[in-house]
């Protein structure tokens, strides 16, 4: 039961943070972005749970970018293509308009922020291990 509360808390932080960042960036968002943001944030947090602290942060960022891009593609296929909600559509170096190469690099950069935020939330509020990072 403790893990349910922990991941609900982390998902809520990640989902609402992403939702409001998107509103600041684009001027609007969609409730599906809260769900996608929650799942992506939890996955970013699991990177440090599954890999050692010795894994360089840049490698973690690439893993986070790959995971986010995969989750974005799955969500886009469901929300945009299947349900026709047209929440987003990429036009540059894209696959089916649901993911794009430039945004993969943005997701890698945001993964660094997400990984660090998750680690410190776990440390400050969930009494988990203090974060430490290896850049290279």
- Domain spans, the chain: 2-126
Q: What percent of the chain has pLDDT over 70?
A: 100
Reported confidence tier of residue 1, pLDDT bands at 50, 70, 90: confident
* Digit-coded pLDDT (tens) for 71-103: 999 999 999 999 999 999 999 999 999 999 999
Average pLDDT over the chain, rounded to an integer:
96
Three-class SS of 21-39 = HHHHHHCCCCHHHHHHHHH
Q: Which of 56, 42, 18, 64 is nearest to 121 (CA)?
A: 42
pLDDT in the model for residue 66: 98
Q: What is the pTM of this model?
A: 0.93
How far is Cα 94 from Cα 21, in angstroms, rounded to an integer? Answer: 22
pLDDT in the model for residue 19: 96
The predicted model gives 100-120 an average pLDDT of 97
Reported confidence tier of residue 109, pLDDT bands at 50, 70, 90: very high
Q: Which residues contact 110 (CB under 8 A, 6 or more apart)?
A: 64, 68
Q: Which residues contact 90 (CB under 8 A, 6 or more apart)?
A: 97, 98, 99, 100, 103
pLDDT in the model for residue 114: 96
117 has a pLDDT exceeding 90 = yes
The predicted model gives 18-32 an average pLDDT of 94
Residue given tokens 């972005």 in the structure block: 33
């Amino acid at each position: 039961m403790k893990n349910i509360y922990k991941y609900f808390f982390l998902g809520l932080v990640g989902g609402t943070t992403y939702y409001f960042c998107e509103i600041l960036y684009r001027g609007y968002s969609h409730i599906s972005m809260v769900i996608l943001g929650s799942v992506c944030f939890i996955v970013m947090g699991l990177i440090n749970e599954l890999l050692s602290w010795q894994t360089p942060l840049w490698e973690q960022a690439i893993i986070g970018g790959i995971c986010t891009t995969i989750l974005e593609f799955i969500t886009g296929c469901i929300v945009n293509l299947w349900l026709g909600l047209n929440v987003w559509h990429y036009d540059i170096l894209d696959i089916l308009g649901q993911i794009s190469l430039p945004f993969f690099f943005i997701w890698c950069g945001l993964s660094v922020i997400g990984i660090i935020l998750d680690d410190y939330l776990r440390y400050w509020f969930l009494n988990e291990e203090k974060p430490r990072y290896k850049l290279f």
